[in-house]
C-alpha cells in the first residue's frame, strides 16, 4: 500500500517527513487550523497600503518564495526518499560482481531479503537507509554481522529471519562493495550481471 497522498498534498507529506515523530500529530491537526485562521484574520490585521505589486516588494517576495517552496516540497514528496522503494527493479544487471560464488549468492540474498528496498548499491535501490555502494570501506565483517542481526535506527533485526549461510554470503557481498573492488567482465566484455528476483520482506 502506497501511503503517499494525492499530488496536491505532496508538499504537506514532505513537510511531515522532516518533522520528529513526536510532532507529527500536532502539525497534522494544528497546521491547517493555524493556516485557516491566519487567512481569515489577515484582512483584518493588514487592510491598508498600496495594492500594486510593484509598491509591495516584501509581499511579492513572500508570494514568490511560498510558491517556490510548494513546488520544491511537492517534487520532494513525489520522490519520497524516506520511504522504502518497493518499485525497485528486481533484477539488477547494472551491478558488476565477481565470479566468486559467495559474493554472487550474497547478492541474491540482498535482493531476496528486500535489502534493496531501503539501501542503494551502485545507483540501484531505495534511499531510506545508508548507501551501501562502498560499505566495505566503512564496516568490517563483524560490524556488518552485528548490524544485520540486531538492526538499528529504522532497520529491523534479521536475527532469526536469516540463516547462517545467507548471513555469511550477504556479508561477503557487502564487504566486496569497496572503492577499489574490480569490475570483472564476462567473455564478451560486458559486466557480469546479478540475477534473481526480489521479494518483499516478511511482515508476519
Q: Are residues 115 and 142 in the same domain?
A: yes
d(CA 164, CA 159): 10
Give whole-number Cα distances, 109 to 49, 132, 173, 198, in Å.
Answer: 67, 14, 9, 9
* 129: CATH: 1.10.760.10
Q: What is the pLDDT of residue 184?
A: 45
More confident residue, 101 or 167: 167
Report pLDDT for 97. Answer: 53
DSSP 3-state of 142: helix
pLDDT at 203 over 50: no
Predicted confidence at residue 102, as pLDDT, reads 86
Same domain, 95 and 193: yes
pLDDT tens digits for range 31-81 = 899 999 998 988 888 777 777 778 888 888 989 999 999 999 999 888 887
Dist CA 54 CA 109 (whole Å): 62
- For the chain, how many structural domains are there in total? 2
Q: Which three cell numbers stand for residue 117?
A: 528496498
State yes or no: pLDDT of 178 exceeds 80: yes
Do 105 and 164 belong together in one domain? yes
Range 110-120 average pLDDT: 89
> N- to C-terminal Cα distance for the chain?
16
* Structural domain range at position 104: 84-204
Domain for residue 1, yes or no? no
Given a contact cutoff of 8 angstroms between Cβ atoms, the answer to whether 148 and 158 are in contact is yes
pLDDT at 20: 83
Q: Which three cell numbers stand for residue 168?
A: 555469511
Residue 90 near residue 193 (C-beta atoms within 8 A): no
**Whether residue 11 has pLDDT greater than 80:** yes
What pLDDT, on the 0 to 100 scale, is given for residue 86?
Answer: 76
**CA–CA distance, 19 with 117 (Å, rounded to integer):** 22
Amino acid at each position: 500500500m502506497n501511503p503517499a497522498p494525492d499530488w496536491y498534498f505532496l508538499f504537506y507529506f514532505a513537510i511531515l517527513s522532516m518533522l520528529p515523530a513526536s510532532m507529527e500529530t500536532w502539525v497534522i491537526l494544528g497546521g491547517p487550523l493555524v493556516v485557516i485562521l491566519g487567512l481569515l484574520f489577515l484582512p483584518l490585521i493588514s487592510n491598508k497600503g498600496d495594492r500594486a505589486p510593484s509598491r509591495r516588494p516584501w509581499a511579492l517576495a513572500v508570494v514568490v518564495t511560498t510558491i517556490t517552496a510548494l513546488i520544491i516540497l511537492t517534487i520532494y514528496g513525489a520522490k519520497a526518499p524516506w520511504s522504502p522503494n518497493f518499485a525497485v527493479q528486481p533484477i539488477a544487471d547494472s551491478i558488476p560482481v565477481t565470479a566468486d560464488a559467495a559474493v554472487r549468492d550474497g547478492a541474491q540474498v540482498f535482493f531476496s531479503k528486500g535489502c534493496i528496498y531501503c539501501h542503494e548499491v551502485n545507483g540501484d535501490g531505495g534511499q531510506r537507509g545508508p548507501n551501501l555502494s562502498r560499505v566495505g570501506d566503512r564496516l568490517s565483517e563483524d560490524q556488518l554481522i552485528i548490524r544485520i542481526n540486531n538492526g538499528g535506527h529504522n532497520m529491523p533485526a534479521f536475527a532469526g529471519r536469516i540463516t547462517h549461510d545467507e548471513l555469511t554470503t550477504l556479508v561477503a557481498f557487502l564487504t566486496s562493495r569497496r572503492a577499489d573492488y574490480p569490475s570483472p567482465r564476462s567473455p564478451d566484455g560486458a559486466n557480469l550481471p546479478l540475477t534473481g528476483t526480489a521479494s518483499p520482506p516478511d511482515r508476519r
